[in-house]
Amino acid sequence: MAGHADRERDCLSSGTFVINAGQDGIHAENTDDTSLGGLYIADGSFTIVSGGDCISASGALQIDAGDFTLTAGGGSESVTMQTSQMDFGAGRGQQTNVTQEETQEEDTTSQKGIKAEGSYIITDGTFSIDSADDCLHAGGDLLIESGSFDLRSGDDAVHSDAAVTIQDGTFSIPYCYEGIEGLSVTVNAGSYTITSYDDGINTAGGTDGSGFGGMRQDQFASGSDSFIIINGGDFTIVSSGDCLDSNGDLTISGGTLQLTCNGSGNTAIDADGSYTNNGGDVTTNDGSESGSGFGAGGGMNGGGSRGGAGKMAGGTGGLSGETAS
């Protein structure tokens, strides 16, 4: 392994890592100063199977390059997703609500692919992640500049408690509860193929609650800071919830979007605030692009019930670093 620790973060500059861990595969944490505990990965090859998070940092995280093949918590298939009918009251009708089958005992182990409690930057890299919980999870802002992503998740494929910004990249998300979720989501370019049991792209206020030390239900509510902005990119989204669900404004200024909503009571496009199309090529299967699907109470407003997740694997922990205070 080529790497070193500095005052603020553990660093991995290159190398080949094959890790089978009962808990986290690579773990950086500073117990004396929670503002530290960061992790920087410059490059390398990582094959990790973990009972907890594959890669976890209690502070900020940055990945500049590398090949990542990660399986967390038994993978996405360890979480059973199912649809059920829920009555949302007069005027809302019967709505398809997607839930995860709850286990007998509450799961207190975080089982994410790559997680940081602070800010999170991916410059480039190739990522194949199969996780019981989120594949990519940030407690702060999440910035993805480029990369190739094959993501399968029992929860969100890409999640931030704050802002998600994607400059470019190729995203294949064939299995997830929600595809991309954050307080806000801004996409400038890239290719996105998403099949989701709930929303394809969802924004809402609040925090996820699944921070350092366990997976819990999301707690999202509508807020003025919530929005979706799409400036470009090619999107093919098939969802049982809303394809695009903004609990604030939704603005499309470019790109090509093929949106198919298969959920009863949901819509391909759903915005609690204003919806503006300034030049995107948008095709929906329900007419919601022209406004016919608006105001139908589509989507689950970032909510929905999320139950227990994966099975813990046996074994010992992987790489663990505590940064100097």
**CA distances, 7 to each of 29, 82, 154 (Å):** 12, 46, 35
Which residue range is the domain that position 243 belongs to?
A: 80-313
CB atoms within 10 A of CB 99: 18
3 falls within a domain: no
254 falls within a domain: yes
Specify the 3-state DSSP secondary structure of 238: strand
110 falls within a domain: yes
29 falls within a domain: no
Quote the strand ranges of 101-248, DSSP E.
114-116, 120-122, 126-131, 136-138, 142-144, 148-153, 156-160, 163-166, 170-175, 178-182, 184-187, 191-196, 201-203, 205-207, 219-221, 227-230, 234-239, 244-246
Per-residue pLDDT of the chain (325 residues; tens, 9 = 90+): 333 334 456 899 999 999 999 999 999 988 777 667 899 999 999 999 999 999 999 999 999 999 999 999 999 999 887 653 333 222 222 333 334 443 333 457 899 999 999 999 999 999 999 999 999 999 999 999 999 999 999 999 999 999 999 999 999 999 999 999 999 999 999 999 999 999 999 998 655 444 433 344 554 444 558 999 999 999 999 999 999 999 999 999 999 999 999 988 899 999 999 999 999 999 999 999 876 344 434 433 333 333 333 333 334 456 655 544 3
The confidence score (pLDDT) of residue 107 equals: 52
Return the residue matching tokens 């990660």.
Answer: 70
The confidence score (pLDDT) of residue 319 equals: 61
Look up residue 310 and give its DSSP letter. P
The confidence score (pLDDT) of residue 8 equals: 56
The confidence score (pLDDT) of residue 225 equals: 83
Q: Which two tokens stand for residue 134?
A: 């989120």
The confidence score (pLDDT) of residue 289 equals: 87
**Distance from C-alpha of 311 to C-alpha of 281, rounded to nearest angstrom:** 42
**Structural domains in the chain (count):** 1
The confidence score (pLDDT) of residue 111 equals: 97
184 falls within a domain: yes
The confidence score (pLDDT) of residue 228 equals: 97
194 falls within a domain: yes
Q: What angle do CA 83, 86, 92 make, to 5 degrees?
A: 125
The confidence score (pLDDT) of residue 168 equals: 98
The confidence score (pLDDT) of residue 115 equals: 97
6 falls within a domain: no
Q: What is the CA radius of gyration of the chain?
A: 19
114 falls within a domain: yes
The confidence score (pLDDT) of residue 212 equals: 39
Task: Please say whether the beta carbons of 177 and 152 come within 8 A.
Answer: no
The confidence score (pLDDT) of residue 181 equals: 96
